[in-house]
Chain A
């Protein structure tokens, strides 16, 4: 079956590198699931049963779907941010830290700003999250354009710093004294994102994220800054020759990128957790890199890849329970996707 598809695409395009990239993304996913299936068979379980359980858990009920979508939401927002940064060839791997920074700032506004109407309070909470994320992205961007410091190192290091700061805050100033564990008190109700689908946790942030994806698509292809982001990433030198202020573009791109990751943190805090929790992101910031790459840095496609990864996250437990397939099989699938996406990107880049 797979071979047939490969042959078919081969014949259609006569050249592997000319394969449309959406097709190669689909092939990557297919291949990842096939390899996952081999592992499941090796364990002695049935891949069909396992994947069936996974799919049912992720999409089979209103609640399951809602749970998938609220996991997709931070992945989508951070993935959009990463897409923007990578378009400008700024290798931001600090989305995780930016998510936490956004979460903290959102929590502070959500906890302590009393007496605001709901709409204003939510807006301010989310805005605070964006500012928190942007602040964290600003310095690596500045160091990059001013001093040429490699952004991969700075953004990654900041992740650890921020996660420690969050831990400190939760052990000290922000801690809910009434609780036995290190969590903050609940945000004021006026800072909670409203629930859209009753009796689920499907909150307004999900729709906001999808709306933003469409907006960013328009932004990238139709605005001057979007054009300059793409041009600076594709060919820095030609961009400069054309009069684009590349450094300035990079700073703005990273601010937008990290603000989106910060928003992801804020949405998680104000829409799902309703308080600051120590490990509120199960690595969304790292997974979002795979989400962005699988979506080929195309905002609209990132919607779908975020849902895919969220479904894997969400369905993994169900798969373990229903088909006795351990959760790490899911990590295998994720890992294969990441590796294959990386390979296909290199192949395409190499052919230029």
Chain B
């Protein structure tokens, strides 16, 4: 449907960006045509976010030029980018949680000397935009009440409200359920029908092939190729990304039977959410040694609150839970960690201190125990050894362990967090979205690692919005909907249809 004659709205030519010794973008050539969805693929740390941050004015390139509608442009700041019609939705949204949707959308647009906000006009525009592009949203809801998917739509509306013609989305689907992703694709198609252009970053090859018109693949900061999506195949893209052949079949491990030893047992647990209402309603289940229990469900159906309670971060309202037979209902996060639990939180911001080096981050959950400290003094010799081991064994792409966590690419942060949690050798691993934002190669690696750990006897509670992940890893699957466990099934009994029905709230 795209003709090659479509004018380029963006041309990035010879873009190079260095961070110290790291070449994040190396002489990259990238064009975006009017009315196309352009996929940007590449391994973790390939330079996708950096390239788009440059287009959005967050970084200045060391060399290279940018043409917007054929005109040489120097984009000084995000503000400048928006003024030139370029908007970007990052993975982490900048929103004021105590403001309503509408106030977040018009935030910063009103000159400060005109205090009376014209909300009525704004609401009307907002609703028009939402309607035109199929973005369902309640303009008067508060941000803190919204799910991640809702908040992403707010971010998109924010950009459209500012009349952008080019929309950059950095891994938008990594936080979405399959259904929410479908809705997003629907919106994107509407956008391009209306003459906008979209850059879409993803690690999901099927998605990229399904939704994009053209795809550019980055590898080690270099643009390897730009190709029309209709002619591309998964295998071709994968080998462009990693520089070698990639196998897509998951090896079926010959797994031993689940033991009878209960590691986690949850009894009639109810939890109140931030909104004060019950987010988890009388949930009971258990996880055994050498077993992976997957919790499927649309984001925001109580999974977050449930695992926060299990990690000691939130007080339960009713009910109890036991770890290896010991009641831990009101234990602190530290007590739970020390009872042999590893925890991969939903948001990677909750697991890293951005201004700390990787060295310091490597021991965030262990620094108060030997061998990393003795008598209250940190032992850096052991910490260095540990950090290097984490980085090397999990292929975290970073110049050295002294780098600040903030400079890691999204996927590399996640790899680091998973590595750290597994290095504790926990008896129970609570893993929320362990492969979020991780590239295809590393995703396989982590999934296999989890299976390996299961084989060694680890009990794993897995929360994920990726159904294929739940289905390929779990021995047992629980489906959560509005705080309740709607159904429980063994892997053999599970089908996408059955889980989908339960997720939507109907008894199967």
Contacts and interface: CB of A to CB of B under 8 A. Distances in A.
Interface of A: 14-15, 222-225, 227-228, 230-231, 234-235, 237-245, 352
Contact of B332 (A15, A234, A239, A245): A245
B50 to A, nearest CB: 13
20 contacts: A14-B62, A15-B59, A15-B60, A222-B377, A222-B380, A223-B378, A224-B368, A234-B356, A235-B349, A235-B353, A235-B354, A237-B350, A238-B364, A240-B333, A241-B351, A241-B365, A242-B337, A243-B333, A243-B365, A352-B354
B378 A227 contact: yes
B360 interface: yes
Contact of B351 (A224, A228, A238, A352): A238
A235 B380 CA distance: 22
Interface string B329-373: 000111001100001010001111111100010001101100001
A14 B367 contact: no
Contacts of A240: 313, 333
A259 to B, nearest CB: 18
Given A241-B343, A241-B350, A243-B337, A223 B377 contact: yes
Given A231-B353, A238-B353, A242-B365, 6 more contacts: A222-B377, A222-B380, A224-B367, A224-B373, A228-B367, A242-B333
A224 B364 contact: no
Given A223-B376, A224-B377, A243 B368 contact: yes
Contacts of A352: 354-355, 406
Contacts of A227: 360, 367, 378
With a 10 A CB-CB cut-off, give which of A235, A240, A352 has the most chain B CB atoms.
Answer: A235
A207 to B, nearest CB: 25
A245 B356 contact: no
Nearest to A231: B353
B353 A234 contact: yes
B40 interface: no
Nearest to B335: A243
Interface of B: 59-60, 62, 311, 313, 332-334, 337-338, 343, 345, 349-356, 360, 364-365, 367-368, 373, 376-378, 380, 406
Contacts of A228: 367-368
With a 10 A CB-CB cut-off, give which of B62, B337, B367, B380 has the most chain A CB atoms.
Answer: B367
Contacts of A244: 334, 368
Nearest to A225: B376
A248 to B, nearest CB: 10
Contacts of A237: 349-350
B436 to A, nearest CB: 16
A352 B378 CA distance: 27
Nearest to B373: A224
With a 10 A CB-CB cut-off, give which of B353, B354, B376, B380 has the most chain A CB atoms.
Answer: B353
A244 B368 CA distance: 9
B115 to A, nearest CB: 23
B313 A241 contact: yes
B243 to A, nearest CB: 30
A241 B333 contact: yes
A231 B364 contact: yes
Contacts of A239: 353, 364
A346 to B, nearest CB: 15
Contacts of A14: 60, 62
B253 to A, nearest CB: 30
B216 to A, nearest CB: 25
Contacts of B360: 227
A224 B380 CA distance: 11
With a 10 A CB-CB cut-off, give which of A231, A235, A237, A242 has the most chain B CB atoms.
Answer: A242
B382 to A, nearest CB: 13
Contacts of B376: 223-225
Contacts of A230: 353, 356
B60 A245 contact: no
B179 to A, nearest CB: 29
B33 to A, nearest CB: 30
Contacts of A223: 376-378
Given A227-B367, A231-B364, A238 B349 contact: yes
A238 B344 CA distance: 11
Contacts of A15: 59-60
A227 B369 CA distance: 13
A22 to B, nearest CB: 16
A245 B377 CA distance: 17
B16 to A, nearest CB: 12
A230 B406 CA distance: 15
Contacts of B334: 243-245
Nearest to A243: B334
A196 B349 CA distance: 51
Contacts of B351: 238, 241-242
B403 to A, nearest CB: 14
A30 B367 CA distance: 41
Nearest to B377: A223
A234 B355 CA distance: 7
Contacts of A234: 353-356
Contacts of B352: 235, 238
Contacts of B313: 240-241
Contact of A224 (B60, B338, B343, B378): B378
Nearest to A15: B60
A116 B332 CA distance: 47
A224 B369 CA distance: 9
Contact of B311 (A224, A231, A235, A241): A241
A225 B378 CA distance: 9
A124 B377 CA distance: 27
A100 B206 CA distance: 69
Nearest to B360: A227
A250 to B, nearest CB: 15
Given A240-B333, A243-B333, A245-B334, A222 B378 contact: yes
A216 B367 CA distance: 19
Contacts of B59: 15
Contacts of B311: 241
B428 to A, nearest CB: 15
A230 B364 CA distance: 11
A170 B253 CA distance: 82
A227 B313 CA distance: 21
Contacts of B378: 222-224, 227
